[in-house]
Amino acid sequence: MPTTVVLGVIGSDAHVVGVTILERALEGAEFDVINLGVQSSQAEFVDAAAAHDAEAILVSSLYGHAEQDCAGLHDRLEDAGVDAVTYIGGNLSVGQDDFEKTRATFETLGFDRVFDPESGPTEAIAALRRDLQLNATESERLRVSS
């Protein structure tokens, strides 16, 4: 059975390109993807994850307001009975901050993994496979052996 992941750009952010490419990559890796698109509220993430019984929630933010936008998200997920791994990635603070500090901030908020802006879709997919104990797809095994 395919694994369902919820994907979206949180808050007032309209950066669409990364999430579009990530959606295609996840679909190519045979995940069922619910892409909420840009400017998605916490409630939209929670509702989609609950409605589709998602195993992972991938939050994207490029404009620097992520901390204010994500505060309280994990409490709402818990209240809604959502048991999913949560990742966040992008440009997560306004200035030129040290990434390890940013990572700690978002781990404290409750995210399982925090990705810097250099991370590509392959890293997110590899992490999902590790965290959800999934195997590589048939087509990828064929590609490796060909």
Partner 1 sequence: MVRDERLASDELRRIDESVRGTYPTGDEVDFEDALAFHDSLAPEKSFATVLESATGPLLQPRAGVARLDEQIDLLAFLHERGGADLLPTTIDSYTRDNEYGKASTGLERTRETGADALNGFPAVNHGVEGCRELITSVDAPIEVRHGTPDARLLAAITLAGGFQSFEGGPISYNIPYTKRGNLAETIEHWQFVDRLAGLYTEHGVRINREPFGPLTGTLVPPSIAIAIMVIEGLLAATQGVRSLTLGYGQVGNVVQDVAALRALRALGEEYLPDEVTVTTVFHEWMGGFPPDEARANGVIGLGAVTAAIARPDKVITKSPQEFQGVPTKEANAAGLRTTRQLMDMAMEQRLDIDGIEAERDLIERETRCLIDAVFEHGDGDVAAGTVRAFETGALDVPFAPSESANGACLPARDDDGRVRLFDPGDLALDDELVEIHAARLERRAETEDRSTSFHMVADDVDAISNGRLIGRPTDADGSGGVSDAD
Nearest to 44 by CA among 90, 76, 83, 4: 76
- Select the span of 46-54, 73-81, 86-94, 107-115 touching partner 1 (CB under 8 A): 86-94
Q: Where are the alpha helices (DSSP H) in the chain?
A: 17-28, 42-51, 66-70, 73-79, 99-109, 121-131, 138-145
Burial label, 141 (beta-carbon count in 10 A; 0-12, 13-18, 19+):
exposed
**Per-residue contact flags (x/-) with partner 1 for residues 12 to 51, judged by CB under 8 A:** xxx-xx--xx--xxxxxx-------xxx------------
124 token code pair: 């997110």
| 139: contact with partner 1 by CB under 8 A | yes
Q: Which of 50, 91, 103, 134 contacts partner 1 by CB under 8 A? A: 91
Which chain residues interact with partner 1 by CB under 8 A?
A: 11-14, 16-17, 20-21, 24-29, 37-39, 62-65, 67-68, 91, 93-96, 117-118, 120-122, 125, 137, 139-140
